[in-house]
Amino acid sequence: MASLTQRDEDLIHVDPSFLTKWNLSVPRYTSYPTAPQFSSMKEETYIEKLKEFDQTAKPLSLYLHIPFCRSMCLFCGCSVILNRNPERQSRYLSYLYKEISLLPFSQKREVTQLHIGGGTPTSLSEEEFDELVDLLQRRFFWNEGAEISIEIDPRTVFADRGRKLRHLKALGFNRVSFGVQDLDAKVQEAVKRRQTEEMTFTTFRLAREIGFQGINLDLIYGLPCQTRASFLNTAQKIAELRPDRIAFFSYAKVPWLKKHQLAISEELLPSDQEKFTIYTDARAIWMQSGYQPIGMDHFSLPEDSLSIAYREKKIMRNFQGYSVCLSSDLIGLGITSIGCVEGTYVQNAKTMAEYEASLDRGALPASRGYVLKEKDRIVRDVIQKLMCHFEIDKREFFVLTQVPFNQYFSASREEIMRLVQEGLIEDFEDRLVATAMGRLMIRVIASVFDEYKTGNYSKAI
């Protein structure tokens, strides 16, 4: 067993007043600027960017959103449509195909990453997957080492004993991410997500047998009825299962956006201090079991490609969390999807009516977005480096901008010095480095460089 470093040991005892002070509402920085800064965007602007991209030989990442779920987990912050009607789903797919066919590319483009997320993508039938993959392959070709991944709710692939999983593997999917959240039955009851250990363990083992790589499990801390003791049990069992990756999300409580979260009674939620201890306990267990912590909320086995990319400083943070950086341009397909092409963020229509209406007019369903200005690109790079590697190399910054780092961010100097005094960062001549505690509050540190900072966000822990 690997032992913890002094820095990690330090994280375990935290003064509650410290948490109260720093547990601020700040963005999760899956983009910069963040989505509240996006404003309405015309289809022409998006088409222009896609055509600009078409002039390059760069590879692409694709994100495809399948919003349907059969039931709603009360904690869910994703973009979901409750649905049990297969016709509604096939109608959505026909619109998705229209969207793909409208991309103005003069040639078949190379894809290095395809991620299908949701909702619950495995609500699609085998025939629907065949059709979707066939269409994608007519428009794009997969790079030899492409990551073709999909989010899977184990409850949807358990009953058929691996049939759909094998089908996905045969179609070229090589990575899977399973939603687990918590193994504890009481917690599951409180969030209305009933998923037995057998469902989780059996589907995980099947995925291993079938040959998927980079298998990820999603877990959440801060859920109702979670206690330090209950989650220790979950964390230990997950460590024994040994997934390649663990995504350990802080429960993002955003009831002003997701009304169903109001059904979770406040009294059942762990206090900030308990939530934090649940996090540090689980972190310690996984690190002692050999996992490498990645960014603020991921863990991966040292031989996994995410760990390798982390050590080589080749990871990025985007709307799917942390991933290996294989291309700088991402096209989002489907309702609410966000992409970034040629330095421009584009979000698709958020309602089905708007999504369909655009495509019925023969227009791509871009609705909001943001064209990055030069300063945005510089700040985005700084925030990415903090979120991914917890430090900024001031010399590298100078080479890039020809302006000394401290001078460029002179307006933030006071705030930076406050973070230094509070023990969240260390400010050296050539580097700015987050401390062990600062790494857990990295969203707060990143927000110091954020030029916009307006909007209502979930708490930092």
Number of Cβ atoms within 10 Å of the Cβ of 421: 9
DSSP 355-423: HHHHHHTT---EEEEEEPPHHHHHHHHHHHHHHHHSEEEHHHHHHHHSS-HHHHTGGGHHHHHHHHHTT
Would you say 83 or 143 has its CB closer to ligand SF4? 83
Contacts with ligand SAM in 25-84 (CB under 6 A)?
Answer: 75-78
396 binds ligand SAM (CB under 6 A): no
Residues sharing a CB contact under 8 Å with residue 359, sequence separation 6 or more, in sequence order: 95, 98, 99, 102, 365
Q: Judged by CB under 6 A, which of 181, 188, 300, 344 binds ligand SAM?
A: 181
Q: Judged by CB under 6 A, which of 119, 243, 295, 339 binds ligand SF4?
A: 119
- Taking CB under 6 A as the binding criterion, the range among 21-29, 111-119, 263-271, 426-434 that sits at the site for ligand SAM is 111-119
Would you say 194 or 311 has its CB closer to ligand SF4? 194
How far apart CA 423 and CA 405 sit, in angstroms, is 20
Q: Judged by CB under 6 A, which of 27, 67, 118, 243 binds ligand SAM?
A: 118
Q: How many residues bind ligand SAM (CB under 6 A)?
A: 17
151 binds ligand SAM (CB under 6 A): yes
- Quote helix, strand, coil % in the chain, to nearest 5: 45, 20, 35
Residues sharing a CB contact under 8 Å with residue 222, sequence separation 6 or more, in sequence order: 250, 251, 253, 269, 270, 275, 278, 461
Pairing of strands 245-250, 366-371: unpaired
Contacts with ligand SAM in 249-288 (CB under 6 A)?
Answer: 249, 251-252
Give, for 331, the enclosing helix (H) or strand (E). strand 330-333
Q: Smallest Cα–Cα separation from 217: which of 286, 316, 303, 133? A: 286
| Cα–Cα distances in angstroms (integers) from residue 74 to residues 189, 230, 311, 414, in the given order | 10, 19, 36, 41
Q: Judged by CB under 6 A, which of 73, 100, 103, 165 binds ligand SF4?
A: 73
How far apart CA 62 and CA 333 sit, in angstroms, is 7
Q: How many residues bind ligand SF4 (CB under 6 A)?
A: 11
Would you say 153 or 329 has its CB closer to ligand SAM? 153
- Taking CB under 6 A as the binding criterion, the range among 66-74, 134-142, 228-236, 251-259 that sits at the site for ligand SF4 is 66-74
| Cα–Cα distances in angstroms (integers) from residue 218 to residues 159, 178, 182, 320, in the given order | 21, 6, 9, 12
Q: Judged by CB under 6 A, which of 153, 182, 297, 356 binds ligand SF4?
A: 153
Minimum distance from residue 387 beta carbon to ligand SAM (Å): 16
How far apart CA 217 and CA 176 sit, in angstroms, is 9
Q: Judged by CB under 6 A, which of 76, 190, 416, 461 binds ligand SF4?
A: 76
How far apart CA 382 and CA 430 sit, in angstroms, is 14
The amino acid occupying position 16 is P
Would you say 119 or 365 has its CB closer to ligand SAM? 119
117 binds ligand SF4 (CB under 6 A): no
* Binding partner of 36, given ligand SF4, ligand SAM, none, CB within 5-8 angstroms per partner class: none
Would you say 299 or 370 has its CB closer to ligand SAM? 299
Minimum distance from residue 57 beta carbon to ligand SF4 (Å): 36
154 binds ligand SF4 (CB under 6 A): no
93 binds ligand SAM (CB under 6 A): no
Q: Judged by CB under 6 A, which of 27, 59, 179, 214 binds ligand SF4?
A: 179
Give the x-and-dash track for 187-226 against ligand SAM (CB under 6 A). -------------------------------x-x------
- Three-state SS sequence of 154-201: HHHCCCCCCHHHHHHHHHCCCEEEEEEECCCHHHHHHHCCCCCHHHHH
* Binding partner of 252, given ligand SF4, ligand SAM, none, CB within 5-8 angstroms per partner class: ligand SAM
* Binding partner of 420, given ligand SF4, ligand SAM, none, CB within 5-8 angstroms per partner class: none
Cis ω for the linkage preceding 33 (within 30 of 0) = yes
- Give the pair of three-digit tokens for residue 214: 């980079």
Q: Rule CB under 6 A: which residues touch ligand SF4?
A: 69, 72-73, 76, 78, 80, 118-120, 153, 179
Q: Rule CB under 6 A: which residues touch ligand SAM?
A: 75-78, 117-120, 151, 153, 179, 181, 218, 220, 249, 251-252
